[in-house]
Structure 1
Amino acid sequence: MPLDRTWLDRLAHDLRGPLSPIQTAVYLLRAPGVDAGQRDELLAVLDRQAQRLGAMIDEFSDLVQADRGGLVASQEVVDVGMLVADAIARLPARPPRVDFAPDAGQLEVEGDGRRLGQLFDALLGLQAARGCTTPVEARIERSATGLRMACTARCPDASDALAASLLESPHPDPPDGALGLGLVVASAIARAHGGRLLAHASGADALEFVLELPAVPG
Structure 2
Amino acid sequence: MSAPSAKAWMDRLAHDLRGPLSPMQTAVYLLRDPGLGDDQRDELFAVLERQIQRLGGMIDEFSDLGRAEQGRLMVRSEAIDLELLVMDTIARLREVPPHVEFAPGAETLRIAGDMQRVAQLFHALLGLQLSRSHPVAVRARIEGHGARMRMACAVHCRDASDTLIASLLTSPHPDPPDDALGLGLVIAAAIATAHGGSLHGRASGGDTLELMLDLPALPDAGPE
Bin of the TM-score, shorter chain as denominator length: over 0.9
**Structure-to-structure mapping, 1:194-209, within 5 angstroms:** 194-209=196-211
Q: Report how many residues are paired.
A: 218
| Structure 2 unaligned blocks of 5 or more | none
Partner of 1:167: helix, strand, or coil? helix
Q: 5+ unaligned residues in a row in structure 1: which ranges?
A: none
Select which of 145, 154, 171 maps to 1:169: 171
Alignment correspondent of 2:119:
117
124-133 or 205-214, larger mean C-alpha shift:
124-133
Partner of 2:106: 104
Structure 2 partner of 1:75: 77
Identity of aligned residues (%): 61
Q: Can you list the C-alpha shifts for 1:16-75, whole angstroms capped at 9, x where unaligned?
A: 000000000000111231100100100000000000000000000000000000000001
Alignment of 1:174-193 (within 5 A): 174-193=176-195
**Aligned AA for 1:139?**
R
Q: What whole-Å deviation, never above 9, does each CA across 1:106-159 have from its counterpart, x for those lacking one?
A: 000001011000000000000022222211110000124410000111111111
Q: Structure 1 residue aligned with 2:90, among 81, 88, 91?
A: 88
Shift of 1:5: 1.2
CA contact (8 A) 1:150 1:210 kept: yes
- Rounded to whole Å, the distance in 1 between the matches of 2:156 and 2:132 is 10
2:156 is aligned to 154
Moved over 2 A (4+): none
**Is 1:80–1:107's contact at 8 Å kept on the other side of the alignment?**
yes
Q: What's the TM-score once normalised by structure 1's chain length?
A: 0.97
Q: How far 1:2 moved relative to its partner? A: 5.7
**Kept in 2: contact 1:29–1:42 (CA 8 A):** yes
Instruction: Give, as a single letter, the amino acid of the residue that structure 2 aligns with 1:32.
Output: P
CA contact (8 A) 1:132 1:154 kept: no
Partner secondary structure for residue 105 of structure 1: helix
Residue identity opposite 2:48 in structure 1: L
SS in 1 for 2:185: helix
Match in the other structure for 2:45: 43
Q: Give the distance between the partners of 2:116 and 2:204, measured in 1 at CA.
A: 30
**TM-score normalised according to structure 2 size:** 0.95
Tell me how far apart the structure 2 counterparts of residues 131 and 159 of structure 1 sit (CA, whole Å): 20
- Find the residue that maps to 1:51 and give its secondary structure: helix
Q: Secondary structure at the match of 2:88?
A: helix
